[in-house]
Amino acid sequence: MKFIAPSNELLQHLLTVNGAIISKPIIPILENFLFDIKGNTLTIFSTDLDTSMTTSMQVESKEDVRVAVPSKMVIDILRSLPDQPVTFSIEEPSYGIEVVNNNGRYKMAGLNGSDFPALPEKSGEGRFTVPANVLLRAISKTLFATGNDELRLNLTGLFVEMKEDSVNFVATDANKLVRFTRKDLKTGSDQNFIIPKKPLNLLKTALPNDETPVVVDYNRSNVFFTFGTTQLIARLLDEKYPDYNAVIPTENPNSLTISRSDFLSSINRISIFASKTTHQIRLKITGSELQISAEDLEMANEAQEKINCEYDGEDMEIGFNARFLKDMLATIDGEQVVLKLSAPNRAGLLVPTENEKDEDITMLIMPMMLNNY
């Protein structure tokens, strides 16, 4: 059995789905790609049993082939070859694979493709379509706020909350929270689920930044993202997401408007002098002036800067984790941001002065207790 494929095109398809493969999996065959040829279509599968990816391309073949191919070895050899047609020959019953091109031949040990685990199948419980660039934006604006604590597994993924005429994408680690809303996604449903972090990182890499339609199918166990010739399947987190709306303060009488780039640059400088354990910085707001300061008592380091701002509210001092603020400011678009505050011991809200069309973004950051200098 054999097939012929352009080396560079095949390599690009393999790299698209390679992220789902892990080294030293529990089942050895999972270190391989599954090559499944029917007619002249090659479908490539990869999985770690929680995250699976598929992609397809046209090849020249006279018979159907199903073989597991060593992932690292086939990528390494294709990377080193010039762009030219390569022939894959598969021997039965050993499933030995020989790759032949104009310059030479290379042999590797394959496995019976029938031993490759079956991937989850769509069950038709729910579906909606989203442009690739919108989904990419939703992931990029929220994923940084997810948690890493395996003891709080429900916070380690992205919460997708569907309404009849909008979708909320929510991420939190209990110290910071981001809610990204798209008002133009009509799901016709009132469902929700939690997607783990790994498949979302793979989506960020694989999605084109254009209006390519992404069909999102979901059931109780899995979510399927299909775009172009690629599909990503993610096993959902079987956890209950916290009532995040309960922690978003609704009364915020103090409002600070400031240049996003100036604010971020100042925090970048001041945080150099903050405690390496707490990363705490202090914001002191009086009138139209914001003073940002930090100190590390153990190392005798301290710094402070003043920035002009627009402020409507009572004078206030509040502490925040500099790393969290920097992540948020780096993610928000626009020239100016608004920091909405209620009290030094209550969460602050960071929002852009103007949202993009059909979207709304709110970022919440918990305060840190201040020690008087």
Q: Which residues of 206-228 are buried (b: 16+ CB within 10 A; e: fewer)?
A: bbeeeeeebebbbbeebbbbbbe
pLDDT, tens only, 164-179: 889 999 999 999 999 9
C-alpha to C-alpha distance for 209 and 169, rounded to whole angstroms = 18
C-alpha to C-alpha distance for 136 and 53, rounded to whole angstroms = 17
C-alpha to C-alpha distance for 323 and 326, rounded to whole angstroms = 5
pTM summary value: 0.93
pLDDT, tens only, 12-69: 999 999 999 998 899 999 999 999 999 999 999 999 999 999 999 999 999 999 999 9
| Chain mean pLDDT for the chain | 95
Residue 174: which residues within 8 A CB-CB, separation 6 or more? 147, 152, 155, 366
Residue 192: which residues within 8 A CB-CB, separation 6 or more? 159, 160, 161, 162, 241
C-alpha to C-alpha distance for 355 and 347, rounded to whole angstroms = 21
Phi–psi pair at 234, nearest 5 degrees = -125, 130
At 163 the three-state DSSP class reads coil
Would the pLDDT of 135 be above 50? yes
Q: What percent of the chain has pLDDT over 90?
A: 90
For residue 189, the model assigns a pLDDT of: 86
At 312 the three-state DSSP class reads strand
Domains of the chain are 2-115 (3.10.150.10), 126-245 (3.10.150.10), 249-365 (3.10.150.10)
By C-alpha distance, which of 341, 297, 301 is closest to 318?
341
77 and 92 Cβ atoms separated by less than 8 Å? no
For residue 125, the model assigns a pLDDT of: 83
Mean pLDDT of 95-117: 94
Per DSSP, the residues of 205-229 read HHS-SS--EEEEEE-SSEEEEEETT
Tokens for 44?
């490539």
Helix (H) or strand (E) holding 283: strand 280-286
At 265 the three-state DSSP class reads helix
C-alpha to C-alpha distance for 271 and 327, rounded to whole angstroms = 13
pLDDT, tens only, 182-211: 999 988 889 999 999 999 999 999 999 999
119 and 44 Cβ atoms separated by less than 8 Å? no
Phi–psi pair at 18, nearest 5 degrees = -65, -25
Per DSSP, the residues of 107-161 read EEE-EEGGGSPPPP----SEEEEEEHHHHHHHHHHHGGG----GGGGGGSEEEEE
Tokens for 188?
């016709």
Sequence letter at residue 350:
L
Residue 211: which residues within 8 A CB-CB, separation 6 or more? 131, 132, 133
Q: What totals of helices (H) and strands (E) does the chain contain, helices first?
A: 6, 27
Long-range contact pairs involving 275-280 (C-beta distance under 8 Å, separation at least 24): 278/321, 278/368, 279/321, 279/322, 279/323, 280/319, 280/320, 280/321, 280/322, 280/368, 280/370
**Look-up: residue for tokens 């798209």?**
182
CA atoms within 13 A on the CB side of 28: 4
Would the pLDDT of 373 be above 70? no
> Residue 372 — pLDDT band, cuts 50, 70, 90?
low
196 and 179 Cβ atoms separated by less than 8 Å? no
Question: How far is residue 205 from each of residues 152, 208, 210, measured CA to CA in Å?
Answer: 26, 8, 13
For residue 227, the model assigns a pLDDT of: 97
pLDDT, tens only, 320-358: 999 999 999 999 999 999 999 999 999 999 999 999 899
pLDDT, tens only, 283-302: 999 989 999 999 998 888 99
